[in-house]
Structure 1
Amino acid sequence: MAATVREVAQLAGVSPSTVSRVFTAPDQVQEATRKRVTDAAQQLGYRPDPAARTLRSGRTESLGLVVPDIANPFFPPIVKAMQARARNHGYTLLVADCDEREADELETIDAIVKKVDGLMLWASTLSDGRLRELAAEIPLVLVNRHVEGIPELRISLTPGISQAAEHLRALGHTSCVFVNCSRPEHLRGKSIRETFDAQGLSVVELGPYDPRFETGLHAATLAVANGATAILAHNDLVAIGVLHQLARSGVDVPGQISVIGVDDTLLAAMSIPALTTIRISPQAVATQAADLIVETINGSAPGRPAEVGSRLIPRASTGPAPHRA
């Protein structure tokens, strides 16, 4: 049978209320007394009841994270790193998937909002007005979504895209395709067109599509028909679909066409050929997002968005344009 508060109190030589304070408000208990209580609790195998702690403190000691697609290999390393960072702050992490649908996102938020002290939404599909209402109900952080007045973590692809454009230009490419899976408000397509134009690279944009493996299968055929010698995909998952379809069609990569992804997931290094990609550090994203939501909960969030950068990781899927081979 589990040990009780009274048993811990008797062993430690303190009152039951002191034991409760050690686990709910440790700063209110002297260090020597606190140590006696925690030693006694460890000896007896006592564990405080999380539900009771929540009722007393009004805090759940949990953070919520809603991502678009947990099946995307980009997210698991971020979730793992964010769990570790949350634990450092004294929180557990609850993760949910909304499958990039507004109705599912609303349902998911309703299900977890009362179970967490703060909420992080990744590329939210909700309207600005709904997000402002939500931010008035609970500490809220947006990742890759801007709404004035709500703390935000931006993932900047600008450095990585610039390096990708320079890389392709140096290899002699002039005709490129961008497989776009972004919603209009993200403006990823516009950023890529402007950056590639500055390097003298023409870009045909395909989409927007869903950011899935099947999209790459479809887009690869269209890119070849457009006469492109390079393809930049929305993410690694789409890029792997492109590689798969090109191989099935007998198109040599990178001999006839070069392919670049975004994210630098495990898939990128394992693909054949290994995928050139724009790296976004999961550890940096996890650290910044977890720190930002804790600061928001504590009322100390900075007034400007936090930002994580990116960089190109060249691998075997890019090579000289065919006319320079």
Structure 2
Amino acid sequence: MAVTINEVAKLVGVSTSTVSRAFTAPDQVRAETRDRILQVSAELGYSPNPSARSLRAGATATLGMIVPNITNPFYPPIFKALQQRARTLGYTTLVADCDDRESAELEAVAAVANRVDGLLLWASWLSDERLAEIAAQTPLVLVNREVPGISTLRIDLTAGVRQAGELLHALGHRRCALIDASRPGFERDKLFAEIFRGLGLTVVELGPYDARFESGVHAATLVATGGATAVLAHNDLVALGALQQFTALGVRVPTDVSLVGIDDTLLAAVCTPALTSVRIDPEELAANALELLLDAVTGRDPRQVVVGTRLVPRASTGPAPAPR
């Protein structure tokens, strides 16, 4: 009979989650504990390879991830990191795009649910009831969506957004624009406005828009005529649209207006000027997502994991311009 993760955990004296992390996210486990887990696993003949362990009947050794919009540069690094970690455990990974539409998400779930051992849904459009139905058939993890009985990976942007507001306030900005691209029913950006106001900043809310490059282009024209000296965009993609339009309008960043994005994608570091952004670490997201997925696959109780954020200041933020 194959050795189980529970047997390894019991012999080492740690939780099964710690054993899982030793294989999926070794940097998150103390070196001595990780070494002991690997030693005991070798002695017992335990392998995290799903095809070797046959974790469950009909196992496919495949994990799935469905995202709202694969053209958003935020998602590819996360999928890449998830794929690399999963490969070390013998899993293949696949990704599908639902184009920010509920109907397309349903189609994607129907297409892949029976082909994967576990499924990661990112900011799902589906109802709680439908998600519960899916979870009853396929091990499921949700990102930025909470449904009772289903594991959740939540990104907490509070710290990073607060740092952005503190930076802008210290630079002398008092009137800020918020480019809101929150989805209906998930008014995330309203929280950002409240954080900024709590720091003594006046906030002009623009939108809601779709979370796309073109939304930033449209909003930038309004900012240019509205008197705000700083902008917080829904994400880097929206911020880059605003940056392009500011350049076209002759509005200098950061001399005339400072600009902050969210996600800290690769494009944030390579655009001109480089974009100040709230960083969400794709490696940390991937490690926690994979651990939650494997927990779901092996039937562990659902739980929530929260990933924090921090601000990465770059050249797109500077002192507020002198009043005209």
Residue in structure 1 matched with residue 187 of structure 2 by the alignment: 187
CA offsets 1:197-226 (integer angstroms, 9 cap, x no match): 110011111112111111111010011222
Residue in structure 1 matched with residue 318 of structure 2 by the alignment: 319
Displacement of 1:190 after TM fit?
2.1
Aligned ranges for residues 222-301 of structure 1 at < 5 Å?
222-301=222-301
Displacement of 1:261 after TM fit?
0.4
Residue in structure 2 matched with residue 118 of structure 1 by the alignment: 118
Distance in 2, matches of 1:84 and 1:118, equals 16
**Count of residue pairs brought into register by the alignment:** 279
Bigger Rg, structure 1 or 2 = 1
Structure 1 runs of 4+ aligned residues shifted over 3 Å read 25-28
Q: Structure 1: any 5+ residue segments left out of the alignment?
A: 1-24, 35-49
Displacement of 1:135 after TM fit?
1.1
Aligned ranges for residues 98-109 of structure 1 at < 5 Å?
98-109=98-109
Distance in 2, matches of 1:172 and 1:27, equals 62
In the alignment, is residue 309 of structure 1 matched against residue 296 of structure 2? no
Distance in 2, matches of 1:246 and 1:103, equals 35
Q: Which moved more, 1:272-281 or 1:57-66?
A: 57-66
State whether residues 178 and 204 of structure 1, in contact with CA within 8 Å, keep that contact through their aligned partners in structure 2: yes
Residue in structure 1 matched with residue 165 of structure 2 by the alignment: 165
For 1:221, give the aligned amino acid: T
State whether residues 150 and 302 of structure 2, in contact with CA within 8 Å, keep that contact through their aligned partners in structure 1: no
* SS of match in other structure, 2:185: helix
Residue in structure 2 matched with residue 134 of structure 1 by the alignment: 134
Q: Structure 2: any 5+ residue segments left out of the alignment?
A: 5-41, 46-50
Over aligned residues, Cα RMSD in angstroms? 2.2
Distance in 1, matches of 2:299 and 2:85, equals 19
State whether residues 145 and 186 of structure 1, in contact with CA within 8 Å, keep that contact through their aligned partners in structure 2: no
Residue in structure 2 matched with residue 73 of structure 1 by the alignment: 73
Residue in structure 1 matched with residue 210 of structure 2 by the alignment: 210
Distance in 1, matches of 2:214 and 2:101, equals 18
Q: Could you say if the C-alpha distance between residues 57 and 296 of structure 1 is closer, same or farther in structure 2, counting changes exceeding 3 Å?
A: closer
Distance in 2, matches of 1:224 and 1:324, equals 15
Distance in 1, matches of 2:148 and 2:274, equals 40
Residue in structure 1 matched with residue 59 of structure 2 by the alignment: 59
For 1:310, give the aligned amino acid: T
TM-score, L = length of structure 1:
0.81
State whether residues 81 and 282 of structure 1, in contact with CA within 8 Å, keep that contact through their aligned partners in structure 2: yes
Distance in 1, matches of 2:285 and 2:81, equals 9
TM-score, L = length of structure 2:
0.82
Displacement of 1:141 after TM fit?
0.5
Question: Alignment identity in percent?
Answer: 56
Residue in structure 2 matched with residue 152 of structure 1 by the alignment: 152
State whether residues 231 and 257 of structure 2, in contact with CA within 8 Å, keep that contact through their aligned partners in structure 1: yes
